[in-house]
Amino acid sequence: MKLEVRNCGKQYGEQWALQDVNFTLTHGIYALLGPNGSGKSTLMNILCTLLEKTTGTLLWEDKEISTCENAYLQQLGYMPQTPCMYEDFTLFNFLSYMGVMRGMPKSFLHQRIEEVTKKVELTDALDKKIRAYSGGMKQRAMLCAALLHDPKILILDEPTAELDPLKRILVQKLLMEVSKDKMILIATHVVSDVEFIADQFLILKKGVLIEQGSRLALVKLLDGKVKEVKTTMEEYQSFKQQYAISSIRYEHEQLIARVLDLDDTLEGEVVTANINDVYLHLFGEKYAVL
């Protein structure tokens, strides 16, 4: 199972939305990180064959996707950021419809509907109209639709954006569970949602893949450069102009700021970096939380 992206680029007029992107996906979870406008959606649309690339090649099992598009699409499960279900359908109707559109046999389809809705805890809402669903329920329903035909490739755009903490954990656990025999690409800017479940991170900035690697490899970039500094609110106000601060908290009435000290000029306790720090380092520059 291998999906290869080689020198992939997309140009809109004079503007390059994506430039010379290279990576290979095998099984496991991949997190695609980047701020708005970094080219995440463009890349996902190209991977889903919804958008024509300007340059490069896409290979599925070493074959150009355009030559085996039907076979590739049969293996693809896609969950767009915005739920695009039919509001007047019940979830059962919608999933049955998706099954029919995917050419699934009826008996297998009913069995799969039962399985996937159970996994995302929507079994009780199967006969409820989608119009009456909350944002989080709609997202879980879309995840059901993506998983319905048991695809090998899962492309998920912000799958946890509208979920409450419990349901986020549920979805994270589910993705971990199914990732054993699938490749899952998750685009998000909620770094904490993917930090501990993703095997690899792909970081896009202005259409260019600036970093890729495992969590450990990425946090190594900031080895010894993340410090927790005890400060006061008055000091913090001037402090935040000079340093990138990823978080602040109060401990025993003492303000503690988590700072990226790239030049090693600050006194403070060195702590282990996380993906949030890496993200801030790559995109935030001297951005402060307050």
Partner 1 sequence: MFIFIYLVKNMLYFELKKIFTNRRILICMVVLLIGVHLFSGYQSLQQEWTASEYKQLHERLDQLPTQDRMAFLKESFDKSEYHLRVNDTQADVSYYTDTYGLAWMEAIQKQKNEVFFSRQVLKQVEKEEQNRIGYDRFRKGIKKQYALNHKVSIFQKKEDPFVGQRAVKTMDAYETLNITMPASIKGSYGIEQLLSQSYLDIALLLFLVFLFYEYVVREEEHQQLSYMQLTKHGRLAYYMIKIVALWFTCSFFIFLTSFTLWIQESLLYGFVDLSACIQSIPFCMRITKAYSIL
User: Which residue, chain included where needed, has tokens 């080219």?
Assistant: 39
Closest distance to partner 1 from the beta carbon of 49 (Å): 7
Which are the contacts of 52, defined by CB distance < 8 A and separation ≥ 6? 46
Closest to partner 1 by CB, 139 vs 231, is 139
- Give, as one character, the DSSP assignment of residue 279: H
For residue 54, give both structure tokens: 């300007």
Helix axes 106-119, 135-147, angle to 10 degrees: 140
User: Which residue, chain included where needed, has tokens 């899952």?
Assistant: 184
Phi-psi region of 121 (alpha: psi -120 to 50; beta: other; left: phi over 0): left
Phi, psi angles (nearest 5°) of residue 145: -60, -35
Residue 89 has, within 13 A of its CA and on its CB side, a CA count of: 13
Closest distance to partner 1 from the beta carbon of 103 (Å): 4
Closest distance to partner 1 from the beta carbon of 152 (Å): 14
Closest to partner 1 by CB, 76 vs 198, is 76
Query: Which helix (H) or strand (E) covers residue 55, if one does?
Result: strand 55-60
- Give, as one character, the DSSP assignment of residue 281: I
Cβ contact 222:235 at 8 Å: no
Closest distance to partner 1 from the beta carbon of 192 (Å): 27
Closest distance to partner 1 from the beta carbon of 50 (Å): 5
Binding site for partner 1 (CB under 8 A): 48-50, 70, 73-74, 76, 78, 80, 82, 84, 86, 88-89, 93, 96-98, 100-103
Closest distance to partner 1 from the beta carbon of 101 (Å): 4
Which are the contacts of 223, defined by CB distance < 8 A and separation ≥ 6? 273
Closest to partner 1 by CB, 101 vs 270, is 101
Closest to partner 1 by CB, 92 vs 236, is 92
Helix axes 91-101, 135-147, angle to 10 degrees: 30
Closest to partner 1 by CB, 73 vs 161, is 73
Closest to partner 1 by CB, 143 vs 222, is 143
Closest distance to partner 1 from the beta carbon of 132 (Å): 14
Please state, in angstroms and rounded to a whole number, the distance separating the CA atoms of residues 229 and 71: 54
Amino acid found at 66: S
Closest to partner 1 by CB, 120 vs 146, is 146
